[in-house]
Chains A and B, each alone.
Chain A
């Protein structure tokens, strides 16, 4: 597979900051990390598989018989799909059918899989134990559609099936198009979880990295009424960017640590760093401490159950009580469910200390599969996914029922990175949002309200608001406004703000 050219492009989302923005992209970062922080977009030329497909189609069209072509358009799936297991299982199914029906499977460079086989048995099928479960070619589209249902909004668009005798143009056009095009390179085949050695590198980075410059904050807002410009900051969430750490650790961005179990283990290590960073910040009267003194929106931190049981958290809660600035503790759903008895203990302890308990990282699928009201948390953070806009009526009704059952007033739609997320959420009755789109809306609002914003643009204001270190905020002339204290008196002229 040849690389035809390298056209580096900076992913727009990174330029606007946000919790997922790799800090390696910041000026001054090591050149290697800087390079890795940018998604490098390049295209690959057609490989032997594309050319072989075209030649095979042309050859078979000379005597098409009852042969057929089936194309599984995995390239049409929306990222993160197709995942490694999609490709693996689908290919195995096609391969079985191919073996039984005198066929051949072509894995193409764009991710699509093509099966050329006999639609009916021109030759007696080779029925061995191994092929007993092979799906007949006619049933494959339905089986594949069922399998991909959760990842393909319209599963039937995912599969094309053509008879060579009557639909030769279609398969020929498809094969020609594949030969003529270049495609984004596929991720190298892996098990989808990443290497343990990469997790070790990440752990080393967590333990040695100066934490404060990797600490991000993001504001969640309450959208009041129907006017979307009416945003009221609810809380700031502090997070460490694991992606940024991975870049600094030199982990191949194409093969990140995705194992949810290893990531939860690393999260336990990050608790310590977060709590230490907060203590250091308080000791030096950093921006966060100043923000809390100004009675800005409350602070949310992410903790594991082990982290939430430490003495550091008890100290933090005691400080929060003294400053009358309550604290929110966000616990991942997976963490809570892994040890529910412990979660109940931690939740009770936090709530008794005046903290808000938030269940984090809830996918819409998890929401419909569980009754999360049994967790008795104060807030639930639903991950935005564009897939929710394309659910079939039954799934849509189930999701709607789950949302209402949990209580719309207790839901925060997070990861709202596009207008569509707000549109969908408001349509469902959700009025709490968090995400890059919200960041941009807040920045726009600040720029409109700030008398010192003449030289500022949206991206700068968004980035400064996401930064917790003093250095990243230096250029801002209006920190109270940056901290979301919209009611705070605005300074009279540039340079007078603290």
Chain B
């Protein structure tokens, strides 16, 4: 194959992600066919993500300038998408070869070009492209490679926990309150907000009230702490007028918190219009710690018209609960790459009873969509939480 030497940029001026979303939506609506090549410069590894590397990668797309009715789009995360009409497989192959050629000196660092260059066929792949578009602008370039923060600080101790609980009793918790949206995948409109999870930011609480300490490093003490936080969160929500204009929301609670006086006060303050619209997320470990309390809490929650969700299911945990009828409304799968090797039972597909959380990369969205999951939550949906007005 002869390579076209890269000369002046042959692609048309690049539009932005919003325009691309319009074109994709239009293609989905009208059925007009388009071809697409997505260059995922955001996936360039460390050592190949300097500005000149990214520019070089962009130039690998110039052969497509010869395709019919070509359009180019640059996304906020530096990805480039090229659309055209008609067949141009030879040009795509040239792009691939050009990419390999340009980074031949760093071949060991360069990921498989097939993962950097992704093909789409519109209108069939409109939904998949829209998923990517939702995630791309907010995706940190290194998010997929990000490692969990090292537990460098001193671990939480029992005495530290007691002190922290005492501090929490008098702290203004409103400043730690956050909302994180859950979105439902709608074929026509892409990801549409369904509800918000309201929670307290543990990270900020740690920074403020226990600086330098690594709270989650002692998992059982951390779980105990979450119960204290649950109660403070419930107390916040039960404050006068806090829920007056509230939209549907979710809370992650311990079972003990659902049966606490604070929950009863919250329940009394909940507007009638939100009955049936509040999702209570429960952790499987908590369920197994006290199954009798779980069953009691479940009956109580049903009587008060709450929706229940079993959360934080991992690929390892799913087989434990797969055959069981826990009589909950939703299952929340916590995204890890381990899910990619798993195909969910067919009866789960196409329903809104599954929620994929912690979606921090487009692979998560792809996998979720391929399994019929329609509810998503995670940093790729929103990169920052908003404060609750209290």
Contact = CB atoms under 8 A, between A and B. Distances in A.
Interface of A: 83, 85-86, 88-89, 92, 129-130, 132-133, 135, 143, 146-151, 191-193, 196-197, 199-200, 203, 259-262, 264-265, 268, 333-334, 337-341, 344, 363, 365-366, 368-372, 374-375
B67 to A, nearest CB: 47
A129 B240 CA distance: 13
Contacts of B8: none
Contacts of B275: 132-133
Contacts of A371: 319-324
Contacts of A341: 314, 316
Nearest to B261: A88
Interface stretch (B57-65, B80-88, B218-226): B218-226
> Which of B261, B288, B296 has its CB near the most chain A CB atoms (within 10 A)?
B288
A197 B268 CA distance: 31
Contact of B165 (A129, A130, A132, A196): A196
Main secondary structure of the interface of B (DSSP, over half): helix
B296 A85 contact: yes
Contacts of B317: 337, 340
Contacts of A83: 293
Nearest to A344: B316
Nearest to A80: B292
Given A85-B259, A143-B303, A146-B299, A262 B323 contact: no
Given A337-B317, A344-B316, A133 B324 contact: no
Which 8 pairs from chain A and chain B are nearest by CB?
A365-B291, A85-B259, A340-B316, A265-B220, A374-B319, A260-B289, A261-B224, A261-B223
Interface in B194-240: 218-221, 223-224, 227
Contacts of A365: 291-292, 294-295
B3 interface: no
A259 B159 CA distance: 16
Given A85-B293, A340-B316, 8 more contacts: A132-B275, A147-B303, A191-B260, A192-B259, A262-B224, A339-B219, A344-B316, A366-B291
B137 interface: no
Nearest to A260: B289
In this complex, the interface size class of chain B, counting residues with CB under 8 Å from chain A, is 35 or more
B158 A199 contact: yes
Nearest to A148: B296
B90 interface: no
Nearest to A151: B292
B326 interface: yes
Contacts of B305: 133
Interface in B274-299: 275, 284-285, 287-297, 299
Given A196-B161, A200-B159, A340 B314 contact: yes
A305 to B, nearest CB: 10
B320 A262 contact: no
Contacts of A334: 285, 288-289
A370 B324 contact: yes
A370 B289 contact: no
B358 to A, nearest CB: 16
Contacts of B300: 89, 147
B339 to A, nearest CB: 13
A264 B296 contact: no
Contacts of B220: 261-262, 264-265, 268, 338
B272 interface: yes
A337 B158 contact: no
B320 A370 contact: yes
Interface string B244-265: 0000000000001001110010
A340 B324 CA distance: 18
A166 B235 CA distance: 44
Given A132-B272, A340-B316, A369-B324, A92 B264 contact: yes
B101 interface: no
Contact of B219 (A143, A199, A338): A338
B162 interface: yes
Nearest to B321: A370
Contacts of B293: 83, 85
B296 A86 contact: yes
A196 B285 contact: no
B291 A363 contact: yes
A22 to B, nearest CB: 22
B261 A374 contact: no
A427 B201 CA distance: 52
B295 A150 contact: yes
B386 interface: no
A129 B244 CA distance: 12
Nearest to A199: B158
B291 A130 contact: no
Nearest to A370: B320
Nearest to B318: A374
A368 B320 CA distance: 11
A114 B285 CA distance: 36
B158 A265 contact: yes
A94 to B, nearest CB: 12
Contacts of A197: 162
B259 A337 contact: no
A340 B303 CA distance: 33
Contacts of B267: 133
A265 B294 CA distance: 21
A372 B320 contact: yes
Given A200-B158, A265-B220, A129 B272 contact: yes
B304 interface: yes
7 contacts: A132-B272, A193-B256, A196-B165, A196-B224, A334-B285, A369-B288, A371-B323
A191 B255 CA distance: 12
Nearest to B289: A260
B45 interface: no
A69 B219 CA distance: 48
Contacts of A146: 299, 303
A267 to B, nearest CB: 9
A478 to B, nearest CB: 42
A193 B316 CA distance: 29
Contacts of B288: 333-334, 337, 366, 369-370
A337 B256 contact: no
A69 to B, nearest CB: 22
Interface in B317-371: 317, 319-324, 326
Contacts of B297: 85
Contacts of A193: 227, 256
A268 B156 CA distance: 14
B271 interface: yes
Nearest to A372: B320
Nearest to B284: A337
Contact of B264 (A88, A149, A366): A88
Nearest to B293: A85
Contacts of B284: 337
A265 B296 contact: no
Contacts of A130: 268
A28 to B, nearest CB: 30
Most buried by A among B219, B267, B304: B219
Nearest to A268: B220
Nearest to A259: B224
A333 B48 CA distance: 46
A133 B316 contact: no
Nearest to B319: A374
A415 B236 CA distance: 43
